[in-house]
A and B are shown apart, each in its own frame.
Chain A
Amino acid sequence: MIQSIRDGAAYAAEQGWLSESFSYGFLINALLAALILGPILGGLGTLVIAKRLAFFSEAVGHGALTGIALGILLGEPVQSPLIGLFTFCMVFALLLHFVRSRTQVPYDTLVGVFLALALAVGAAMLTFVARKVNVHILENVLFGSILTVTDQDLWLLLISCVVILACLLPTFNRILLSSISPDIAKVRGVPATFFDYLFVIMITLITIAAVKMIGAVLVGALLLIPGATARLFTPNMSSFVRWSAVLATVSCLLGTWLPMELKLPVPSGAAIIMVSATFFLIACLYQIIFKERRRAV
């Protein structure tokens, strides 16, 4: 199926209906990955904002550095050290959340400590990784690269996103209610603690799934920026989630395609975040002008 999409795009490029860049198979793979990732990142991002977990998703992304180093040191392939990445990120996220629920330490302080620790351990491990492989290869994993998305990655991404969607759709309201009003949620029989952990697992899973495209370091930003943008101009939760998903998807698509089209040597993750941040700045500007006008009237 993926091959036929690639063939179709190549044919369209040949006929001049699409730009020449669409004849490259790896770009089509990356665009397909963007189409799968975007809506999930945008949708989950609204909950990240409502639950005020922006810093948390950032920490999980940074924790990926250690996970990658660990995977490579344990003999996994340099391009996709998935087991090390998955295991470390999951343990890291669950441990952080567990400590949060059992101590009185303010959440931002706790995330700060965990984030610094993960980076420190990751940096220390990179010294050993450098003896095994060229460290520059790691840049692909840290900042994303469209060259590395294989067919197998796409299927893995699709399965991960279907799993996340299957968990998210029936629980979205209850996760939101338990973050907005935990007491009312508990009285209504919502297992708030279970949903907290479920959400942490979903965030970790999407972080891992997005590593190849957006990069471990920048994926947290894409969970945050489209939601933060949508929040500036949407009047209710329904449009908030929809716009966040649309903005995340468009950012992923443009961030993947533009550097290729303009022949810019920019990692896909960086380009995606820059496009996303541009939308945010435009929305901020719109709000400032709109508010100024309203004040003037």
Chain B
Amino acid sequence: MMNIKITGPQIQLQNVCLSYGEHDAQILGPITHTLAAGQCHVVMGPNGGGKTSLLRSMLGLTPFTGRIHLDWPNGRGRVAYVPQKASFEPSLPLTVMDFMLLNQSQTPLFWRRKAKTITRIKDQLAVLGMVEKAERKMGRLSGGEQQRVLFAQALLDAPDLIMLDEPANGMDEQGISLIEFLIKELVTKGASVVAVHHDLNAIKRIAHQVHVINKTLVTSGSVDQVLPKAQPTDFVSLCQLSQHQSNHQIRAMA
């Protein structure tokens, strides 16, 4: 078996709670849990269950109480994020290449571009099948194409930790397969991957660990433990389980 050098962090959550709004209504937590390094973790659960909020908290984008600690094996590495969707104004002349350059270079967009940077970006876009659309405006791309570009920007720095919020949103079959392949490739390079995902079949293909979130951590474990032969119809029941119910009951349900 190939020996993988892990570069991604272990993520430790200690009593993580999230509150929103004027009355500080608690929408998530408390969660105490550890996500192992160098694996693909899928966070799943019903809409409004707090998956995206948890992901954003791990990235430091949403305030929370408690503690989230990234334990890096070799000092702090590179972090990348693919949001659920980004809104690009169609009339703004921001091309795919411009967007990639914004993420890659501090030389102003209207300045002379470095050939080396352009080549690197084009290579990355080629991986995602978007190189021919490099001069298209971001706001004119379809949702799936935008998602590919967002994924391409995340891969630019060869991240050690990548957070994906529903990466297959709006993508065609080919795009989904490509994203899954790239996620697996990242893990084989030692990166840690945390993804919010809905598709049970896709989860079975890519995830090492599955964490079911519904306001709190409902259950967690390997794919075989959490989703043994689960059918899509089981998804709702799975999410509705309380934290106190054991994995045994989950297996019985499946």
Contacts and interface: CB of A to CB of B under 8 A. Distances in A.
A290 to B, nearest CB: 15
Contact of A181 (B83, B93, B111): B83
Interface stretch (B98-106, B185-193, B229-237): B98-106
Interface in B58-92: 59-61, 79-81, 83, 86, 88, 91-92
Interface size class of B (residues with CB under 8 A): 20 to 34
Contacts of A15: none
A202 to B, nearest CB: 14
Contact of A173 (B61, B81, B105): B105
A239 to B, nearest CB: 7
B153 interface: yes
A231 B88 contact: no
Contacts of B150: 184
A238 interface: yes
Given A236-B97, A237-B98, A237-B109, A231 B80 contact: no
Given A183-B61, A183-B83, A236-B98, A170 B106 contact: yes
B92 A50 contact: yes
Interface string B111-151: 10000000000000000000000010100000000000010
A187 B77 CA distance: 12
Contacts of A186: 59-61
A237 B60 contact: no
A275 interface: no
Interface string A180-215: 110110111000000000000000000000000000
A152 B61 CA distance: 47
Given A173-B102, A173-B105, A236-B135, A183 B93 contact: no
Contacts of B61: 183, 186-187
A49 interface: yes
B110 A241 contact: yes
Interface string A225-265: 00000010011111111100000000000000000000000
A154 interface: no
A172 B101 CA distance: 12
Contact of B93 (A169, A174, A234): A234
B154 to A, nearest CB: 8
A141 B106 CA distance: 37
Contacts of B83: 181, 183-184
A238 B113 CA distance: 10
A13 interface: no
Contacts of A184: 81, 83, 86, 103, 150, 153
B173 to A, nearest CB: 26
A176 interface: yes
A177 B110 contact: no
Contacts of A181: 83, 86
Helix, strand, loop or mixed for chain B's interface? loop
Contacts, number: 81
A231 B93 contact: yes
B11 interface: no
A173 B95 contact: no
B119 to A, nearest CB: 18
Interface in A137-168: 168
B120 to A, nearest CB: 16
A223 B95 CA distance: 23
A241 B109 contact: yes
A105 to B, nearest CB: 14
Given A177-B102, A236-B97, A187 B81 contact: yes
Given A184-B103, A186-B60, A188-B103, A172 B108 contact: yes
Most buried by B among A187, A188, A235, A242: A187
B94 interface: yes
B109 A187 contact: no
Given A231-B92, A236-B93, A238-B109, A187 B79 contact: yes
Contacts of B111: 169
A235 B95 contact: yes
Contact of A242 (B91, B107, B110): B110
Contacts of B94: 50, 180, 236-237
Nearest to B95: A236
Contacts of A173: 101-102, 105-109
Nearest to A46: B110
Given A176-B109, A181-B86, A238-B109, A187 B59 contact: yes
Most buried by B among A168, A238, A240: A238
A174 B150 CA distance: 17
Contacts of B102: 173, 176-177, 180
Interface of B: 56, 59-61, 79-81, 83, 86, 88, 91-95, 97-99, 101-103, 105-111, 135, 137, 150, 153, 163
6 contacts: A180-B86, A183-B83, A184-B83, A184-B103, A238-B110, A240-B93
Closest 8 CB pairs of A and B: A241-B110, A172-B108, A187-B81, A237-B98, A177-B102, A237-B109, A240-B93, A236-B95
